Every structure is written in C-alpha cells, then in structure tokens.
Amino acid sequence: SQTIHQWPATLVQPVGSPLSLECTVEGTSNPNLYWYRQAAGRGLQLLFYSVGIGQISSEVPQNLSASRPQDRQFILSSKKLLLSDSSFYLCACTDPGKDEQFFGPGTRLTVL
C-alpha cells in the first residue's frame, strides 16, 4: 500500500518569505496527487491536483503554486508568504482508477 511522506512536519516562516513543502509517495506508480489546505475549524480545501509529471491543475486562485518534477514527488511553493497562508497542508494520492484517497501526515505552517 501507499506511504506518503511530508516534510517538514512543522514550519514557522516570516511574512514575505518563500515556501517549499515537499510530498513524496512510495508503493505506487503514476498516482494522482493532491494538495489540500485545512484552516483551523474548517474543512479541507483542494488547492492543486496532478495526474502526471508536469501536469498541474489549480482549484483556487492564490499566491501558492505546485510542481511535480517526478512521478512520486509533489511540491507546494510560494514566492512570498502571507499571514493568511498559515494552515495545515495535506498531501494525498490516489491510484489511477481506484477510489480511495490516501493522506500524508500533514505540515503545520505558521506565518508570523
């Protein structure tokens, strides 16, 4: 079964600094990959999804971007963080043609 790694687990960054969160997946090939954001007390908001290397779809306009340089690597980035970017970020994957989505342990980002 799949294993999803996310790092760092926690991160504190100043406003205006860049961001790079990494997600890697083991135990599968050619997965669909997802980035979600979960603000305190709120549900999950889908930010980006990818069906293959270099293929990224954005769900909401924002100052974040995503890239997929390798089949099982998904990166969430920002050039300049905002206070409102403070959140819990989750990476998830699905095997093509399968219905179950697996989640990573998440990254807690605090922007000060």
Partner 1 sequence: AQSVTQLGSHVSVSEGALVLLRCNYSSSVPPYLFWYVQYPNQGLQLLLKYTTGATLVKGINGFEAEFKKSETSFHLTKPSAHMSDAAEYFCAVTLWEGGKLIFGQGTELSVKP
Q: Does position 75 bind partner 1 by CB under 8 A?
A: no
**Pairing verdict, β 87-94 and 107-111:** antiparallel
Q: Does position 83 bind partner 1 by CB under 8 A?
A: no
Cα-Cα-Cα-Cα torsion 5, 86, 33, 49, nearest 10 degrees, comes to: -170
Which of these segments, 12-20, 68-76, 77-85, 93-101, binds partner 1 (CB under 8 A)?
Answer: 93-101
Which of these segments, 12-20, 62-70, 78-86, 88-96, binds partner 1 (CB under 8 A)?
Answer: 88-96
Q: Which of 19, 28, 34, 85 binds partner 1 (CB under 8 A)?
A: 34
Number of Cα atoms under 13 Å in the Cβ half of residue 44: 11
Q: Name which of 39 and 112 has its Cβ closer to partner 1.
A: 39
Number of Cα atoms under 13 Å in the Cβ half of residue 105: 8
DSSP state of 72: T
Q: Name which of 11 and 44 has its Cβ closer to partner 1.
A: 44
- Phi and psi torsions of 104, nearest 5°: -80, 180
Q: Does position 95 bind partner 1 by CB under 8 A?
A: yes
| Spatial separation of the C-alpha atoms in residues 68 and 51, rounded to whole Å | 10
Binding site for partner 1 (CB under 8 A): 4, 32, 34, 41-44, 46, 49, 88, 90, 92, 94-106, 108
